[in-house]
Structure 1
Amino acid sequence: MASLPTSAATSAPTSIMTPSGPTPPDDEPTIRYTRVDELFQVLNRVPGDVLIVTHVRPRNFSTMERERDSRRRRFRFRYYASSQVLVITLPTWVHEQLHAHLYWHFMQKLVRIGVEDSWVSIGSPTYRTPGHPSGDVGESDSSGGPEPERLGPNEWPTLVIEAGDSKSLNLLRQDMRWWFDASNHKVKIVLLAKFDRSRREIRLENWEEEAQVVRPGATTTRSVAANTLAPVLRQSITITQNAASPPSYNVVRGALVLSFRLLFLKDPGPGEGDFAFSIPELRVYAERVWSVV
């Protein structure tokens, strides 16, 4: 079961407080849970798209879920039961464009090759670790999978997209690991989209899993299974806005490519193949994100 780094789980103040002012990279606003009404007061004042809450027991989290749903708030939860840490995503305009427009481009590609009826858009439902009703909980930004293989309320997506505005890249990578582990590796691709205001750039990371293999002749003090899966960064792409009028966008490290085989759980047929987001498409995507900054 995935867990947050110890530093994130122990850095909270002793009482609930409102995060204020800009925070350094990887230093998300963090509070200690006391009461659900106080938590929602804080959520109304968080400046970015993330808040970390510590000391959240399973019954506290259940109360938060009920309260969120009754208030019809759009917060997304990632709950780590073992460390009693809750990461709350508060969608900003930038946050939503980061994942939604990327997913829209993907759907257009499905239409172009005529496989849209073999794909189900899942969105951001609540996923719980199998067999553990009081265990970890996760909700994605965008997700989907092949139909009928991943159609149904208990089926995991093959594609998950997670976005971050003020949310750090390190925390997004923790999200990525959670999806692979909690789904028992049913999630096949996790895309991360991180917006960096100071650098005027978007960073896209394409993560998959592959089997770890022990080097021939290597001597280790622990047993490592040859078929142990581990996340692998397949691509890292940056899109930088140039300060011009009108602005332009520079894409580094080429097109974004998603594996057909991993997404659809089968080899591509005639007219099918991997999904490539071209450099011009990535520029359009970046322009759409910056339009709401």
Structure 2
Amino acid sequence: MARTSSGETAATSVASEEKQNSITALCTLDISTIKIEPHDDLGIIIGNIPYRSSLTKIEGVTIDKFTQWIEPPKKHGRLFFYSSEYEILIVKYPISLVHERLHGELYDRLRYQTYGTSLFNEMVGYGSTTYFPERLLCNNKQTIFLNNDPMISGSTTAGEGDSSLGLMVGSRNNGWPTIVIEAVWSQSKAALVAKANWWLEASNGAVKIVLLAIGSPLRIQIEKWKASPIPPSPTAPSRPNTRLHAALLREAERPKVYPPILMIERSSTDTPRNNYRVIGSPLRLEFRDVLRRDPVPPEGDFLLQADELQAYAKAVWNALPDNDS
């Protein structure tokens, strides 16, 4: 086993989307890296990753090693991304309380908006379920094959979100959630940007919104990633977008950030919650994206207003150890 360590930099963001797809961008991230040998035990190596390492890239992970690790009993780490072509596994480990609050509190506030309404029974939390473009591994580890193919043929990728939310009847969205939340604490967002691209591409548009939460002791930034609108075909302008070939769909649906900035800031760790500065509120999640149907009045878009975002930030920052605040 060999190990290298380097700081993740913005230069390794999804550098030039025209030149790099999401898989290449993820596999070439400049993060702490471990190279394993065939005889190495992947579970032990992950368990020995130093505290607060967050994202770690492990090279030399064959599909067999990955399958053994991801199937029960997986004891260490959370899958961030895997590519069998590159034999690269990226894990989140160890996972801190502040990281869990960063995505979990955001999920809870979105889910809370359905309490007491009929929407509560239309939606369900998907947790950190493992997704393959070819198949879905549920939280109970029962495998659902999305393309009726019981084998992983050729190269494959896999990923888990920190939190996710979707339809109670998952077949309405091909088994994928409609919303995925990814979080990172005090690090570059490069990995999250690449992962947002992967969610939108790998799900073939089934994932409608990817929320990225980038936290630090004085600032939390939330970005909402969606696929760009598909332009009409010049040869068939009236042709419905849903009939576009999948490859064309992925090319046309270049992800974009909207809104460009949503931030919660405080001047110091002693700043009262009501004095947190919120820029870019409200956070809006379009009803049609979340529920895959038109709203029936009084139903409408999901909104997190400035006061809710202040409460969210307070809950996150309360999870900081004393020496980090």
TM value normalised by structure 1 = 0.80
- Is the aligned partner of 1:85 residue 2:85? no
Shift of 1:169: 0.6
Aligned to 2:265: 240
Aligned to 2:145: none
Partners of 2:45 and 2:186 lie apart in 1 by 19
Contact 2:47 2:77 in 1 (8 A): no
Contact 1:113 1:272 in 2 (8 A): no
Aligned to 2:156: 135
Once the two structures are overlaid, the 10-residue window that deviates more, 57-66 or 263-272, is 57-66
Across the aligned residues of Structure 1 and Structure 2, the Cα RMSD in angstroms comes to 2.7
SS of the residue aligned with 2:112? helix
* Counterparts of residues 213-252 of structure 1 (less than 5 Å): 213=231, 228-235=252-259, 236-243=261-268, 245-247=270-272, 248-252=275-279
- Is the aligned partner of 1:123 residue 2:127? yes
Once the two structures are overlaid, the 10-residue window that deviates more, 275-284 or 33-42, is 33-42
SS of the residue aligned with 1:190? strand
Contact 1:145 1:151 in 2 (8 A): no
Shift of 1:203: 0.8
* Counterparts of residues 6-25 of structure 1 (less than 5 Å): 15-17=1-3, 23=7, 25=9
Contact 1:257 1:277 in 2 (8 A): yes
- Is the aligned partner of 1:72 residue 2:75? yes
Aligned to 2:283: 256
Q: 1:111 to 1:150 in 2, by over 3 A?
A: farther
Q: Is there any run of 5+ residues in structure 2 with no aligned partner, and where?
A: 11-29, 135-148, 235-246, 321-325
Partners of 2:280 and 2:228 lie apart in 1 by 22
Once the two structures are overlaid, the 10-residue window that deviates more, 118-127 or 27-36, is 27-36
Shift of 1:112: 5.2
Q: 1:41 to 1:106 in 2, by over 3 A?
A: closer
Partners of 1:151 and 1:185 lie apart in 2 by 13
Q: Is there any run of 5+ residues in structure 1 with no aligned partner, and where?
A: 1-14, 217-223
Shift of 1:23: 3.7
TM value normalised by structure 2 = 0.73
Aligned to 1:161: 181
Partners of 1:242 and 1:29 lie apart in 2 by 31
SS of the residue aligned with 1:242? coil
Shift of 1:63: 3.0
Q: 1:254 to 1:71 in 2, by over 3 A?
A: closer
Contact 1:30 1:54 in 2 (8 A): yes
Shift of 1:40: 2.8
